[in-house]
Amino acid sequence: MPSILEQLSSGLIVSCQPVIGGPLDRPEITAAFALAALDGGACGLRIEGVENLKAVRAVTKVPVIGLIKEDLTDSPVRITPFPTQARALIEAGADIVAFDATDRVRPEPISRLIAAIKSAGVLAMADCSSVEDGRRAADLGCELLGSTMSGYLGGPIPDGPDLELVTALSGCGRFTVAEGRYQRPVDAVRAQKNGADAVVVGSAISRPEHITSWFADALTGRTKTGDR
């Protein structure tokens, strides 16, 4: 197992991605959130955007998963769709590059994207919606498989994480990352018991706008319960 994965094994990875256009959407604030997460016990970070990544890399040497989100007119894929973006993230200091590994129309073949990542000597993380996504990515050499995209390919978004997918991905023989709607510590523990090698938590830690809305909506009756 690569040393970076050993550092992440059995640990918490915090996704420090501010709400786009929100009051915290500045690289220096993203870096501060990252340091706060590390102070709390995180062993790694997931960071979106080259400038945010540069700011974070300037203040810490812990493993960082880098990605770029871009809305395209000709494809629903938006997480690091291009090899040029992968190379930019690597130059900014990413140890791992994450990308959308779903089986949808895309601007570049997954094989070309993975080749660009691996040729630079860093690790590739496939953000999957199904075990089939994971198997394809594993066959192409991806070292990490994440449950990131489960529930985000259309239709109602589930309330909780997809533990069944975590279990299925863990059978692919790659480092398995549980990600997507992990809002309570008990969910992270369940993911670990279901085969996750590491767990990514985002909004519940680094998006106060979302956390505030959970409480505010519960108090005004816009949600069924307030126990997140």
What single DSSP character describes residue 119?
H
Per the prediction, the chain carries an average pLDDT of 95
Give residues with Cβ within 8 angstroms of 152, minimum separation 6.
129, 180
Burial of 49 by CB count in 10 Å (0-12 exposed, 13-18 middle, 19+ buried)? Answer: buried
User: Is residue 223 very low, low, confident or very high in pLDDT (cuts 50, 70, 90)?
Assistant: low
| Residue 6: count of CB within 10 angstroms of its CB | 11
Q: Which of 120, 124, 60 is nearest to 90 (CA)?
A: 120
CA distances from 4 to 1, 8, 22, 52, 160 (A): 8, 7, 32, 20, 28
What is the predicted pLDDT for the residue at 228? Answer: 35
Measured distance CA(6)–CA(25) in Å, rounded: 31
User: Is residue 2 very low, low, confident or very high in pLDDT (cuts 50, 70, 90)?
Assistant: confident
What is the predicted pLDDT for the residue at 227? Answer: 39
In the predicted structure, residue 183 carries a pLDDT above the cut 70: yes
The mean pLDDT value for 184-193 works out to 97
The mean pLDDT value for 114-130 works out to 97
pLDDT digits (tens, 9 = 90+) for 53-104: 999 999 999 999 999 999 999 999 999 999 999 999 999 999 999 999 999 9
What is the predicted pLDDT for the residue at 222? Answer: 74
Is the CB of residue 77 less than 8 Å from the CB of residue 102? yes
Q: How far apart are the first and last CA of the chain?
A: 35
The mean pLDDT value for 92-119 works out to 97
Among the residues of 140-184, which ranges form H helices?
163-170
Q: Which of 86, 84, 81 is nearest to 65 (CA)?
A: 86
What is the predicted pLDDT for the residue at 1? Answer: 76
Q: Which residue has 């090899």 as its token pair?
A: 83
Measured distance CA(87)–CA(120) in Å, rounded: 8
What is the predicted pLDDT for the residue at 117? Answer: 98
Domains for the chain: give ranges and CATH numbers.
Answer: 3-219 (3.20.20.70)
